Amino acid sequence: MTAKTLSVAAALAGAISVAGMALSLPAYADNEKCYGVAKAGENDCANEAGSHSCAGQSTVDYDGGEWQLVPAGSCEEMGGSLEPFEGVNPTPPA
Amino acid sequence: MRCVRTLRSAMLRDFQRAFRRDLLGDGDGDLAAFTGMAPDQAARRMRIYRNNVQGSLAGVLASAFPVVERLVGKAFFRAAARAFVERHPPTVPQLSVYGADLPGFLAGFPPARTLPYLADVARLEWARIEAYFAGDAAPLDPAGLSSIDPADAAGLTFRLHPAVRLVASPFPVQRIWQANQPDHGTVSKVDLQAGVERVLVFRPAMTVLAHVLSAGDFALVQGIAAGATLGSAAAAAIEAEPGFSLQQALADHFSRAIFTDAA
């Protein structure tokens, strides 16, 4: 038995005993908040999307204008990420 | 008779193609030829369809990528989504799998060039979606391994739970994700120069969670995911991170229930 197989075996044995003491799956359920990623029920066409298409036909049509849009959202709240586009993107890509 | 049927199916095919073009793109009005309507009338009516389809698909994307939407703002997201829908229309009639290509699309989307981390944040969000919809499997009970011959330990291979995903980025994507949760109280600064972040997405107890792994731990799980033995995955881990503790990493992963089988 080489030293390497021995150390892997020892680590595995150690991990098993640690996990055995605290096999704590339920603990994870309230360890960290999870943003709902639920997409179930998205297969509708009657809510926001429907009203959008009826009420906002002119705004839906971005055409050429969309390419000049500059990202503006929460990045501005996150100090570091503001810098790459401070002010307004002066040269919007064609 | 046969000729007529062939002609009709050819017409139907042409009509469907024209309809699809109009639906996904900026329609060239050739639908008028099929309907007998005046071109502007046909185009006006078609726009209603188009806005419904594109608007609902953009809505699906927004609900799958809420952090990306928050990062770029609603107007930008909607414009990007529309460009995406045109180039990547759904190929499967199942909205829960729509959006897999968005991270790659954003990586090459010129208006998003000022946010180099955006595509990786999208990859993390998509990994969470995949984890959410992945099949279920009973976690490995580590006690079952206690009888293993020490000489065989290094040759063990593990099967990962179907919901496990790995996302590595040169940017602190998990911190960006966290700072942009609706219930994240304080406005936090994220240092974009913080360096590489390696994220494990997993789903114990039916809840999608994400955890930042060390370089060694990431290499370990990556190796295991690729079917490597515990011995060679551990060797890769130690190479990536000299102080790597295999015991600690395995104990953590056992309690995270990311393994389903060992052989």
Give the tens place of pLDDT for each residue, A52-85: 333 333 333 333 333 445 666 665 555 433 333 3
Q: State whether ipTM is beyond 0.85.
A: no
The more confidently predicted of residues A60 and B16 is: B16
Using a CB–CB cutoff of 8 Å, tell me whether B88 touches chain A.
no
A55 CA to chain B: closest CA distance, Å?
Answer: 10
Minimal-distance CA residue of chain A relative to B69: A73
Cβ of B192 and A80 within 8 Å? yes
Q: Is-contact A12 B156, C-beta < 8 A? A: yes
Domains of chain B (ranges; CATH) run: 1-115 (no CATH), 136-263 (3.90.930)
Tokens 């990547």 belong to which residue? B88
Minimal-distance CA residue of chain B relative to A1: B151
B232 CA to chain A: closest CA distance, Å?
Answer: 10
Cβ of A28 and B95 within 8 Å? no
Number of A–B residue contacts, CB under 8 Å: 234
Question: Any residues with CB less than 8 A from the CB of A12 and at least 6 apart, and which?
Answer: B145, B148, B153, B156, B230, B246, B247, B250
In the structure, what pLDDT confidence band is assigned to residue B15 with cuts at 50, 70 and 90? confident
| pLDDT score recorded for residue A94 | 36
Cβ of A37 and B64 within 8 Å? yes
At B175-196, the pLDDT tens digits run: 999 988 887 766 567 888 888 9
